Amino acid sequence: MEHLVGFYRTDPASCDENRRLLAAMIRSLAAREEGEWQCHIDHRVAIGSLSARTSPWFAQPFRDPSHRYHLWVMGELDNGEEIAQKYGDGSPSSPHQGEQVGQALIALLHREGVQGVQLVRGSFLLCLYDSHQETLSLLSDRHGSRYLYWTQTSLGLVFGSELRGMLALPQVSKQVNQGAIANLLIFEFLLGNQTLFQDISLFPHATILTRTPEKEKRYRYWDYPVTWPSSPPPFPEMVRAASSVVRKAVHRYVHTHPHLGIPLSGGLDSRTLLCYAAEVREGIPVYHLQMHPAETAIARRVCQALHATWHTMDHRDFDPHLTIPEGMRVGEGQVSVHQCWLLPYVQKLSREHPPPYLLDGYLFDVLLGSLWLVLPTPSLSSAAAKVRQILRLWQMFPLPLARWLFTKSFYEVLASQPRAEVKEVVAHRLDASITEVVLYFALLNRGRRYTLAFTNLNRHYVPIGTPALDYDLVDFCLQVPPHYRVASRLHRAMLVNDFPHLAAIPWMKSGLPLDQDFSPALWRRKTWRKYGRYAVSLLSGGRIEKKPDYDHNYRFRHDPRFREFYLQVLRDPRTASRGIIDQKGIERLISLQQHGMNQFNLIDGLITVELWYRAYID
């Protein structure tokens, strides 16, 4: 895992003073990271980086021959070789020859200005310091996929890839962000660029920040431009185009990474990755976490049909006593407790030599499929209705229940803050259709702050690539007419056309073969069955349940060892001392959960917040 920490001083100071402060930031991370830190320190800035010896960026900061420019790179570039050939010194290069690519990036940013970051493709964060002009620039990729935190202090601009490094400086405030806590409990993720600290933010996506001694400027160069054509191309043409961009994105990873593996479920996203990866290489290892027997059967059939190598692990190996404290320590309040479910597997894989490079199906379901697809209706045309629809889609529990559980002061935050912040996040899109507004929220908030947070958590142990963030693929998907995504029609058609021998293998979500459309009647039956089982559980006080044993609501009620960890944290007096929920509310919540009301998401959120308090505030 790469790390970058540093600061830009408002008022210059001695190099010794800046070295002392940077050393404090590095010490806060050194206990858990191996490797040699590379630093640049002068009277204005102090910046340190840590990369694995196998990383192309190990020798950074990269410098031009005059030592005017100093460049740090986090992440991966998709077009590093192209940049090296165009802006380098003409010698042969590859994306793994970091020195040549780093020098070429400096030449690009010097020639084109920092706006030249728009010519760089990939999942990256760049930090450029011009020592002649005393100018610091932070540059994020389109999606903000490599997390960097930043804040303004009396010292100046402080930034870091991990919060611990920043908090080592006494100038960095630890004031708690109550609104962010409310969002985490209601949505399971944070909104926009907020963190659980009031004055620390996540660096925005597609952003150029430039800091000089006189001023600071921020500029967003890209923001998910939706361009749905008024006369859409025929569906078969769109299917062929989708196939082309997905194949190109996946193949690039397979050609680049010899030790590649794919976590495989019964869904479409991981199946898509394996299908196109298997066109290039046989015997790709797949890693399946056994939870639902039907899903395991589907994943195994896909694995066998594509001649992949099967590896599996039982979900019951997830021990919350061991896994959750580690996940929360690494996650820094950016992930929920339940997102630690894959940690035992990636920790096991990290001990392999070399560890596999995993491909993550992140966002395929949103970009190509029907997840979070809302088609326009007259009732969803006003700005207020669009905000309400987002709350309906993502709100995890009803507010009347919150009034009964939480303290009066925190309930007032819950009742007002999330709605206001949702409106703020999508304010500049509210004139668009409900389909576009929900898609934007899903990509930028649920995608970046929930799904990508899960990916970045696991990146602490193994390298992970996200083909769905390929620039050409995203550009194409932002042009796909919404009605082509209904029931994941485009996604399924692409797989059926390219891999007809897999069409009969069902999709876990519908239980049907990919070439068979599912009707509204099917979803109604599945919905009624789901709510019928839930009603039986409620009426029986949780005694009669037909649920898989991996369901956390079920496990909390029926697995004493699983429940023990959560009860220990909930009933610890510290949990009731935060002003969020008192001991009476905690006991009410436990009782509701034990008697059949599925509120594990709320328990999960409270545990996440409490463990964050203990790590950073106490």
Domain boundaries, the chain: 3-220, 235-370+447-518, 377-432, 527-618
Query: Cis omega before residue 61 (within 30°)?
Result: yes
Look up residue 405 and give its two tokens.
């559980």
Look up residue 143 and give its two tokens.
């999606």
Q: Residue 34 — pLDDT band, cuts 50, 70, 90?
A: low
Please state, in angstroms and rounded to a whole number, the distance separating the CA atoms of residues 173 and 167. 8
Please state, in angstroms and rounded to a whole number, the distance separating the CA atoms of residues 189 and 469. 20
Among 545, 527, 547, 529, CA closest to 595 = 545
Which residues on adjacent β-strands are paired with residue 218?
209
Amino acid making up residue 90: G
* Residue 185 CB burial class (10 angstroms; 0-12, 13-18, ≥19): buried
The average pLDDT across 425-432 equals 96
The average pLDDT across 113-118 equals 97
Please state, in angstroms and rounded to a whole number, the distance separating the CA atoms of residues 270 and 306. 13
Amino acid making up residue 43: H
The answer on pLDDT for 96 being more than 50 is: no
SS3 223: coil
Q: 235-370+447-518: which CATH topology?
A: Rossmann fold (3.40.50)
The mean pLDDT value of the chain amounts to: 92
Please state, in angstroms and rounded to a whole number, the distance separating the CA atoms of residues 597 and 398. 12
Residues in CB range of 429: below 8 A, 6 or more apart: 436, 437, 440
Signed CA dihedral, 581, 583, 584, 590: sign only: positive
**What architecture does CATH give domain 3-220?**
4-Layer Sandwich (3.60)
**Angle subtended by helix axes 560-571 and 320-331, to nearest 10:** 50
Among 258, 261, 253, 254, CA closest to 284 = 261
Question: What per-residue confidence (pLDDT) applies to 93?
Answer: 45
Which of the pair, 482 or 542, is modelled with greater confidence?
482
Identical fold, 3-220 and 235-370+447-518: no
* pLDDT tens string 324-342: 988 998 899 899 988 988 8
Please state, in angstroms and rounded to a whole number, the distance separating the CA atoms of residues 150 and 161. 9
The answer on pLDDT for 94 being more than 60 is: no
